[in-house]
Copies of this chain bind each other. A is one copy, B any other.
């Protein structure tokens, strides 16, 4: 093996779950030719709030956080995007500037696909549009749910909630068969994700620890009794 293996769109495993699975071979070949894959470090940004949309970003590996900020310096993490997801599509479809910033939370490989190519594929293959429609509908549903939780549930509940969501995505069982979760986020990002301050996050982590739901050691979380935790979540 001579260094990094080049991954073609054909061989890209994450494509199955992404909108791009709607493409036929010829279209995939086009995509593979024009895509610009790049290794990106944590902390770097794919696009910035207010910037014009140059194209789409398809995440091959790593984790991307979608942030929203305002003039007063308030900042929130709207959502996390992982392997297979395509980000930046809303600004593209809107044909206007990005309303959010996309930042690498974990290092990874992301392919950039320029605007013109996406436009071409979209007019050529109606199914691609329907895929984006699916994605957009899921996003809207999730945002509605988050809004609802944000204005109705207290921080502790939202924390338990996000812990379960993160567990489903990043958790697993350790050697002894105990539920463990490696957090892909700093504490302050965790706070931003549920819309609270870092101090409140810290205190609530202590609280759920005292209550015996989970133990936090750095970024690893051990969940002793998942069922008990589930029972304390609001019936969504």
Q: Please list the residues of chain A having a beta carbon within 8 angstroms of any beta carbon in chain B.
A: 68, 70-72, 74, 76, 78, 90, 93-94, 99-100, 126, 129-130, 132-134, 136-141, 143-148, 150-152, 195-196, 234-236
Complex CA–CA separation, A71 to B126 (angstroms):
40
Identical copies in the complex? 2
Give the distance to chain B from A76, nearest Cβ to Cβ, in Å.
5
User: Taking chain A's interface residues, is the majority helix, strand, or loop, or is none over half, making it mixed?
Assistant: helix
What residues of chain B lie closer than 8 Å to A147, measured between beta carbons? Answer: 76, 78, 143, 146-147, 150, 195
What residues of chain B lie closer than 8 Å to A72, measured between beta carbons? Answer: 234
Partner of A143, one of B133, B143, B152, B235: B143
Complex CA–CA separation, A100 to B236 (angstroms):
12
Q: List 29 A-B contacts (CB under 8 A).
A: A68-B144, A70-B148, A70-B235, A71-B234, A74-B148, A76-B147, A76-B151, A76-B152, A90-B137, A93-B133, A93-B134, A94-B138, A94-B141, A99-B141, A99-B144, A100-B144, A126-B126, A129-B129, A129-B130, A129-B133, A133-B136, A136-B136, A136-B140, A139-B140, A146-B147, A147-B150, A150-B150, A151-B195, A152-B195
What residues of chain B lie closer than 8 Å to A134, measured between beta carbons? Answer: 93
Give the distance to chain B from A17, nearest Cβ to Cβ, in Å.
17
Complex CA–CA separation, A188 to B130 (angstroms):
38
Give the distance to chain B from A142, nearest Cβ to Cβ, in Å.
9
